[in-house]
């Protein structure tokens, strides 16, 4: 699973930049074989985002508050 880092503005003050770690979703395929025949099972993993910064450098809001705000808004 590839990990990317992204920078978003603070949801409270809009000035500070918050670092996010983004784990992108991926597809995985698994082949199966039994008496009944062969098959392929495809699964997709969800993408997830985590706040890496400890706090906003401008307003001082903690990472828990920032992540909670973004989850309420449906951004992560």
pLDDT tens for 6-59 read 898 888 888 888 898 888 888 888 888 888 788 888 888 888 888 888 888 888
What's the domain range around 49? 3-73
Helices (H), the chain: 63-73
Number of domains in the chain: 1
Q: What's this model's pTM, rounded to 2 decimal places?
A: 0.62
Phi-psi region of 60 (alpha: psi -120 to 50; beta: other; left: phi over 0): left
Ordered strands of the 17-23 beta sheet: 3-9, 17-23, 48-51
Taking alpha carbons only, the member of 7, 41, 6, 16 closest to residue 27 is 41
* Residue 1 confidence (pLDDT) above 60: no
Q: What is the rounded end-to-end Cα distance, in angstroms, of the chain?
A: 18
């Amino acid at each position: 699973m590839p990990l990317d880092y992204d920078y978003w503005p603070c949801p409270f003050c809009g000035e500070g930049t918050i670092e996010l770690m983004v784990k992108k979703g991926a597809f995985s395929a698994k082949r199966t074989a039994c008496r009944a025949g062969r098959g392929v099972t495809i699964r997709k993993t969800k993408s997830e985002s985590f706040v890496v910064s400890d706090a906003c450098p401008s307003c001082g809001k903690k990472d828990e508050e920032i992540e909670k705000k973004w989850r309420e808004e449906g951004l992560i």
